[in-house]
Structure formats: structure tokens, C-alpha cells
Amino acid sequence: SFGGCILYTGAPYFAAISALKVGADLVHVFCEKEAGTVIKTYSPELIVHPVLDTEYGMEEIDSWLPRLHSVVLGPGLGRNQSMLGRISLILEKVKSFDLPIVIDADGLWHLTINPDILKGYQKAVITPNAMEFSRLVKSVLCKEIPPSVQPEPQLVADLATAMGNITVVHKGAQDIISNGRYIEICDTSGAPRRCGGQGDLLSGGLATFLHWAMAQGDGGLPPPGPTVIAAWGACRLARGCALQSYNQNGRSSTTTDLINQIHSEFARLFENETYL
């Protein structure tokens, strides 16, 4: 996971711990120097590299990237203009290693400024909310649309197509997923209250699902293909965790409560004979 600055330390933790609890063996967090100690205190389970804004940071990233199987970029990244060059460099390196990548939160802000950096990289999944989607549509499709929790599914597909058939997950009243060729909708019940950090759970879990899906190899998964299938699974899991947490905690639900539901929901949805 790439992200984490002095202002935002919760988001990278939520994404990383969600990836771990969904089933990743090890999770690394590459964050800015001032965020490192804070994130380390949240959990001893994560491997934290506080190098994202340091002079030697790229050397450390270069040494670790070949050992990674999936990447999340964005949670807690911040909007520091001085990081634009480094983010672009990291994205180019991720592509050179052919790694699946999830881009969320402030990673999408950087992407809006330079959308061509990801164009045509079909192992990429972006997870915009209504506002982030509106900005991307303006940047990529040159259309002004108001943010909506229920956009036209075809518009999601149009954005995916224009970005070279990457996979777009529009988070809203229902989650709309498209790689430009297929459109899938996850509309199962979630929580009436969407707490801050729920998107981080989705992006972290999605990174683990993506690796599993990609590991099936060419022809290993039927249409709509590994990125869309992984995205749908992660959306379904996040919605299930939100609902179960709300049933127990009501409007007091926080992302920590949702994360505590990952094991039971994963088992119920994917390891038992049950409805999805």
C-alpha cells in the first residue's frame, strides 16, 4: 500500500489491515516519514516503510516492488503537488512489473491530473466515489456531470473504455463495475450509514482478490474477467461487512467495526454454500 502522511494515517492502516484480514500473507505500507511511527502503533501485523517522501525512498521501493503481488495506491496519500512526479514514477514501475493495482482516494486526485499514466493498463482498478468520478469524467471524457450516487452504468463503461479498458468501480447506492466491455452491478444491501474509511476496506480487500484472480492465469476465469470478478467480490464483501456491523452497532458503526466482520462475512459469502 502506498499512502499515509502526517494528516492521514488511518486510511493506509484500514486498507492494509483489510488486505491482510481478507487473506494476504504479508502487507507492506510505504508512507511518508512522519506517518510511519503512527501507523506502526496501530498494529504490529503490518510492515511499515516510512520512506515515501525521503531522498532514498525510491531505492527502498525499488528493492521491494519485485517481491509484491498486488498494490494499492492512494489511501492517505494526501494532495501534495510535490509528490506528483514520484507517484508517476511508482506507477510506471508497477506497470513494468506487471502488478495488479488498485487506485483509490487521493491516488485518484493525482490520476485526474494525469489520466494518461494509467491508460491501457488493464490490470488496474480504480474505485471512485461520486465526486471523484465526476472529476475523472471531466478530465477524461470532457463532460460536466454532477456527482451522483446513481450514475448511468453506461457512463462508467465509457470512462473505462476511454482509459483503455481499465476497470472502474463507481461506489454509490449500488456499486457499478465496468471494464468497458462488461458492466456488472453489486446492489446487495449495505448499511444505511456509510462511515469514513469504508472505501479503504474495499480497496485493501480488492487488492487481495485481484492477486487471487490474476493468479488463475490466461483463460483461468470466464468473462467478465479477473478484474471485474475481483471487484464484484470485494464490493460484495464490503457491503456485507457494513450491513453486519450496522446490525450490531447501528449508527455508531466505524470502519474498525466493519473490519471485525471480515472473517465471518468472508466465510458466509465465499466458503459456505450460500447466496451471494
Per-residue pLDDT reduced to its tens digit, 148-182: 999 999 999 999 999 999 999 999 999 999 999 99
Question: Quick one: how far is CA 109 from the chain centroid?
Answer: 14
Residue-wise pLDDT tens digits, 88-103: 999 999 999 999 999 9
User: Which DSSP string corresponds to 143-154?
Assistant: ------SS--HH
Q: Is the pLDDT of residue 274 over 70?
A: no
Confidence bin at 82 (pLDDT 50/70/90):
confident
* 54-61 long-range contacts, CB within 8 A, separation 24+: 57/30, 57/86, 58/86, 58/89, 60/30, 61/30, 61/90, 61/93
By residue count, the chain amounts to 276
% of the chain beyond a pLDDT of 70 = 99
Position 154 scores a pLDDT of 98
Position 172 scores a pLDDT of 96
CA pair distance 103, 137, nearest whole angstrom: 16
More confident position, 230 or 218: 230
- Please tell me whether residue 235 adopts helix, strand or coil conformation: helix
Position 106 scores a pLDDT of 95
Confidence bin at 80 (pLDDT 50/70/90):
confident
**Residue range 37-66: mean pLDDT, rounded:** 96
Q: Is the pLDDT of residue 275 over 60?
A: no
pTM of the predicted model as reported, rounded to 2 decimal places: 0.96
Per-residue b/e over 167-178, b at no fewer than 16 CB within 10 Å? bbbbbbebbbbb
Q: Residue 141 in contact with residue 156, Cβ under 8 Å?
A: no
- Please tell me whether residue 103 adopts helix, strand or coil conformation: strand
**H or E, element range at 185:** strand 183-186
